[in-house]
Amino acid sequence: AEQYYYGDFMWAEDAEMAMDDGAVADTGSAAQPRTTAPNRVEGEDFSGTNNQEAGVDEADFLKTDGYHIYYLQGRNLHIFGVPEFGALEEAYNTTLSGTPVAMMLDGDQLVVISTLNPWSISPNHPVVDAMGWEDSYGSWRTSSLTKFTVFDITNRSAPDIERELFIEGSYITAREVSGTVRTITHAWMDVPGVQS
C-alpha cells in the first residue's frame, strides 16, 4: 500500500479502494469545481465524519466532502484536493488566530472554531470595546473567548472570510443543522459591584 504523509495526517491507498464501476476521478487542479469529477457518494466512495444523528454535523478537526479534505493542525487550516482516490494536492494552507479546536462543513461554507485569550487580541481590534468595563486589560469581564470564523470555500485554493463571531467563554461543543450553528461555551464573568 502506498502512504502519503502530510504533517500529522496520513493517507493510505491500496488497490481495493478503487471505485466499483472502475471510474476514475478527474485529475485536474484541486481548486476545480466538483462538477468535473464523477459524483462521489458518502458512505460508498468515501467515509464522512462519524456523525451520530442524520443531518447534524458535529464539530471535528478533520472533515471531507469526498473531493476535498479539510484539516486543522496546530494553528493551521489545510485544504487538500482529492483529484482521484489516493492522490492529494494541497489547495490551501493558512495560519489562524488563536487555537483552532474544531470545524464544521456545510456545502461551500467552512466554520472554524478557535479559542482565544482576550489578552492576545490587538488593542485596536473591534471586539476590545465590547469586552471591557474600562480601558484596561485588567477590567475585562471574561478570561476566554471562542471565535467562529466562517469561510466561503467556493474557491478551495483561495477561501474568503465571510464573518467572524466572538463569544465569551471557553468552547465546549457545537453542532450544525441546516446551516445554523449552535454552541455551548462556559465562562466565569467578572461583573463590577456584584458579590456573592
22 CB-near residues (< 8 Å, 6+ apart) = none
Which residues on adjacent β-strands are paired with residue 68? 81
pLDDT at 183: 92
Give 146-182 pLDDT, tens digit per residue: 999 999 999 999 999 999 999 888 999 999 998 899 9
**138 to each of 86, 116, 123, 125, 141, how far by Cα in Å?**
52, 16, 13, 17, 9
DSSP of 65-88: -SSEEEEEETTEEEEEE-SSTT--
Q: Where are the domains of the chain?
A: 2-15+55-186
- pTM reported for the whole predicted model: 0.70
Give 122-155 pLDDT, tens digit per residue: 778 888 777 765 655 556 667 788 999 999 999 9
